[in-house]
Structures are given as structure tokens and as C-alpha cells.
Amino acid sequence: MSAFDGVTTMQLRAFGRTGMQLSVLGFGCGAVGGLMVRGEAADQERAIARAIDVGVNYFDTAVLYGNGESETNLGRVLHKLKPAGVVVATKVRVPTGEFGRIAEAGEKFQPIRLSVPLMLVKISPISLRMESSFWKFSNT
């Protein structure tokens, strides 16, 4: 008997006023478990594919997870699977002296301006939009 027997759909919840519907369970890509940082590529792909199959659409990563390995590996798997409606949350490092300038987010804010292109190379999305600190990927 599977832990998923009798469950037909993942619950989704609205994320603030963004219009995004996120799964109540997310997939953490951090270094604690190690799968997305030190795991085998086939295991990473199987785990992410299974999460998507059961309705997970929210994936959490950061450049600091495995010194960028988490973003790189997640990007490789998402690029191969091409799932629709996946949301990836990543983080950028903001130096202490820049905290007061966070309101200048986007292209004007140096830490974000420098981090986003590197993240895009790693994640290599089909399409992308920024929603607060969340990146939305889709096939359209």
C-alpha cells in the first residue's frame, strides 16, 4: 500500500496577491538532505519527477546550497522534464551594507542584477517571470 493511496490531488494555496497557486508541500533542494547537491543525476531526476507527479509545483533552492550545485542540478532536471506551472524560489546574497537599498530590486539593485543572470544560466528556464523572490517557469 502506497502512502499516496486515496489521495487524488495535491492541495494548492494562493501565494499572497501574486495569483500563483503553490502546492502545500514543497521540494527543498538544500544541502541538508544532499540529494540536489551531492546526489546522482538519475536519483535527482526520479525524485523531482515523482514530486511533480504527485502535484508538487514549488521547489526551493539557493545559490548557497552546495555552492550553486542545487540550482545547477534543479535546472538540469527541470530543463529535461519541462513541467508546466513549476515555481522555483531561489535567493540572492545581499551584502549587509546594501540592506537599505533592497527596495531598488530588479535591474537597478546590484546584488540582484549580478545574481539573476548566473541563476538563469543554471536553471535555463523555458520562460521566467519574477514574483517577489519567486521565479515562475512554464512551457509557454
CB within 8 A of 31, min separation 6: which ones?
Answer: 37, 38, 65, 66, 70
SS3 59: strand
Which residue among the candidates 65, 109, 135, 137 is catalytic per the annotation? 65
CB 107 within 8 A of CB 54: no
Q: Give the list of residues 6+ apart from residue 15 with CB closer than 8 angstroms, or none.
A: 21, 22, 87, 131, 134
Reported as type and span, the H/E element at residue 22 is: strand 21-23
Question: Active site includes 58?
Answer: no
- Measure the CA–CA gap between 24 and 58, rounded to whole angstroms: 8
Just list the catalytic residues: 65
